[in-house]
Amino acid sequence: MIDTQRFFTILIEGISFVAAFAAVAAAFIMYEVTKKFGSGILASGFKSISAGVLFLALGIIIDALNSYFLLSYNNIYSVLVFLIKGICFVVGTYIIVIGSKRTADKLESLTK
């Protein structure tokens, strides 16, 4: 008999890993952009944003591993993993937002 709870946990974590690896691939593609649109502003913006995408991918991977191993939140190691995951999400989001804002500001200054 199939344990449906375990099956759905593995299915969801598999989807999380696919999303994380897609994010890693996107980050590498963004980092490798060398086209010089807008005096290289887009290329430099993509390079900074790609670091944020990598942090988000790391957070997804940590979350998937945490759920897969069913770590309880009452021991110190699980709390530490939870904090590291949260820090990865916050730092990744911050890098993406700031990188996007700086890129938009630079492109806007070119059009004036």
Quote the number of domains for the chain.
1
Supply the range of the domain harboring residue 82: 4-111
107-110: which pairs have CB atoms within 8 A and are 24 or more residues apart? 107/38, 107/41, 107/42, 110/38, 110/39, 110/41
**What pTM, to 2 d.p., does this model score?**
0.74
Burial class of residue 11 in the structure, from the number of CB atoms within 10 Å of its CB (0-12 exposed, 13-18 middle, 19+ buried): exposed
Residue-wise pLDDT tens digits, 33-85 = 766 555 577 777 788 888 888 899 898 888 877 776 766 667 777 788 888 98
Output the CA torsion sign for 67, 70, 71, 74: positive
